[in-house]
């Protein structure tokens, strides 16, 4: 059963990412709307190299897990509000479920607050949450020299606009050190 849930969670994450990418392409400005997104057209943005030298998304999840809980799926923080390996709050779960409903109206799947205790399910939630919000800021974060992994980590820590909050810089440094095995 657990193996099935792992595959189902990974499949859901892939579907969410693909649907999200299609949504972006559909909503992206066309030639008549040139300049509507930071002066970029889709053709210009497609040529922007993605700065993700730190590693894969799985590497990022491992680093976030180490920073958040030291790898303990039973960790509890923030006076009982943050649960599990990734220290997820209830509002995070609510937002992930809203994102799922936004892109997959016909899918009757939702995460529960109890799923925060499951490392694989909570890792999938982190993927859905950070992918959803990172895609809105790809041009701005690239211009700042920020990698996708940095933006994702800072969004995980500071919410949808966490990538630009000064208070998430120190968190990113911890995650980055975990990437490097320090």
Instruction: Supply the pLDDT for residue 45.
Output: 33
pLDDT for 13 equals 59
pLDDT at 96 over 80: yes
**Nearest by Cα to 133 from 165, 107, 178, 181:** 165
Res. 1: pLDDT tops 90: no
Q: Given this model, what pLDDT does residue 7 score?
A: 59
At 140, is the pLDDT very low, low, confident or very high (cuts 50, 70, 90)?
confident
**Is 141 a residue whose pLDDT tops 70?**
yes
Residue 38 predicted with pLDDT over 80: no
For residue 37, the SS3 value is strand
Q: Give residue limits of the domains in the chain.
A: 2-28+40-179
> Mean pLDDT over residues 60-72, rounded?
95
CA angle centred on 36, ends 34 and 39, rounded to 5°? 70
Average pLDDT over residues 28-51: 37
pLDDT for residue 132 is more than 50:
yes
Class of domain 2-28+40-179: mainly alpha
Calculate ∠ Cα 15-20-24, nearest 5°: 150
CA distance linking residue 156 with residue 164, whole number of Å: 12
H or E element, residue 83? strand 82-83
pLDDT of 135 = 86
Token pair, residue 47, equals 């040529």
What pLDDT is recorded for position 108?
83
Identify whether the C-beta of residue 11 lies closer than 8 Å to the C-beta of residue 4: no
User: How confident is residue 83, by pLDDT bands cut at 50, 70 and 90?
Assistant: very high
Q: What is the mean pLDDT of residues 105-128?
A: 92
**Amino acid 163: pLDDT:** 92
pLDDT of residue 178: 92
Residue 22 has pLDDT above 70, yes or no: no
pTM of the model: 0.70
Cα–Cα distance for residue pair 63/79, rounded to 1 Å:
23
Contact residues for 64 (Cβ-Cβ < 8 A; gap 6+): 86, 126, 153, 156, 175, 178
């Amino acid at each position: 059963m657990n193996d099935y849930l792992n595959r189902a969670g990974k499949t859901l994450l892939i579907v969410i990412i693909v649907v999200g990418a299609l949504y972006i392409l559909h909503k992206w400005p066309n030639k008549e709307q040139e300049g509507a997104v930071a002066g970029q057209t889709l053709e210009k943005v497609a040529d922007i190299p993605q700065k993700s030298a730190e590693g894969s998304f799985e590497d990022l999840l491992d680093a976030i897990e180490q920073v958040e809980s030291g790898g303990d799926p039973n960790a509890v923080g923030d006076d009982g509000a943050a649960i599990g390996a990734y220290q997820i709050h209830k509002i995070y779960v609510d937002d992930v479920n809203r994102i799922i409903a936004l892109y997959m109206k016909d899918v009757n799947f939702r995460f529960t607050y109890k799923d925060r205790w499951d490392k694989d399910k909570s890792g999938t939630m982190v993927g859905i949450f950070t992918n959803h919000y990172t895609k809105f800021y790809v041009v701005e974060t690239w211009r700042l020299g920020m990698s996708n992994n940095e933006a994702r980590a800072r969004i995980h820590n500071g919410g949808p606009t966490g990538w630009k909050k000064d208070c998430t810089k120190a968190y990113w440094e911890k995650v980055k050190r975990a990437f490097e095995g320090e």
